[in-house]
Structure 1
């Protein structure tokens, strides 16, 4: 049985990535694609790499008939997403790729996003979309909130360790490097080639990055007490990829064994041999996460690495993984393609 889906915000990077992945999915049919400024255009003109596909023309959201749609991927900007989702029929399942429903506490949302949430009932209904840790809830959900790509990377490295109590919860440092596509497709002066190329820089340092809200929420819930990590993201002159270098206090062998046990049956999580180093180039364009543990020269300390593609496992691939569960399909459908290399 083919399920009809719509992608709202299909003219952005995550929307295009969803189209690329769904194009080879045997049980999903793209019935509608929406855009704002690009409405009326063909996807082939907006994204020439998709010109071989027979896709619907981009239209405004108001032009879509949702009566025959089974699931909607909402790849809209923050704040816009919650307003649109509130108007969708209750019969439609939704995977939201924005930040609008990631935080459960309305006060936390207001703190990190600077204004009150306009749809608190939907916020309370949403299930956090980190698939490997919320499968049961996602299968039964109508609305799933995709995680932040940086937040997902840090959590893959740390969630099993926090849950098992094998690291010092007060000594966690996440040093993260991310490709520029994570900033979206909108024109920004600091993302021009001449401004970004041939260098990299930290941003949102200290306590200002919004993904800290997700770390606080998820890690504190796991530990049963407040956990606040030290987190610094860096912007790399690369299109795709995230590499998290996480410094922790704990025994390397125990940490390695904990990660292996946690991910031994996970189709997309690969724990490398201890001491091996993951690279964003080895997960590019795929839904895989590569993790590894490297002992420090000082006893009782080590570094945990996690690498993933921010547009795939960090966003659109994760969204499709969740949609598969919500529609009762095999979780891996459309997602087992090998990474692109070189």
Structure 2
């Protein structure tokens, strides 16, 4: 029986770097013959995932190991994309059930139940970063996810900026390199809003469905105030009005919210707070309430009417 210490050290290092997944050519390249590999599998030191693909040490690989498996099966220059890349880069919070692998044009292995392969046209995306496993650059990951539709574009662009994974300028440069992409004008506008401090889907909807749609003054985004320099979502500085947008569900964060509202009150700034349902489904009512406070604080304007107001 083969023992673990008889596995070449360079092969062990490679397996650790690839989350426990190896392909046959890598194993043979480290000096292990086919006969020896068969004996290592029989001894239970190596697990055979499928033809030409192995796990070392024997067992079920972690999720990153399955990503490595997809990349290795995709061949040279293959890389993770889509939701798989988003998870690797900290943009998505959940591990997708199916691994998404991009391969150069003309090379696409057959899909399995755990991995899909997509050919990518040359020149559309930047070259891969040095991250392991290889994946698309964060800007290309975001733009790829934006193709799912307007709601996805808002969600992924604002999330990437809010998590400081990229910048509006980098996203705009990546967008300029793409000759064909759905919803280009919308994506351009969302990036511009993100540069102006809109860092969440809720803030985006407030900016467009409440402020712009009802001709309210343009508030300042992500401004720091108070002795603790806490950031507020929207500040109408000329009228000393603070609007906080709370996208959380349930009771999480209510103590912190109350303290923030108290600070605003003590500094002479009235504070309004709205959640997702109010901003997206009751935007006209929210706009009217904000306008009333603004007028009370000295705004000489009046709120406009959006198509929803006139229904």
TM-score, scaled to structure 2: 0.29
Larger helix proportion of the pair: 2
Larger strand proportion of the pair: 1
TM-score, scaled to structure 1: 0.27
Structure with the greater alpha carbon radius of gyration: 2
Q: Which has the higher contact order (CA 8 A, sep 6+)?
A: 1
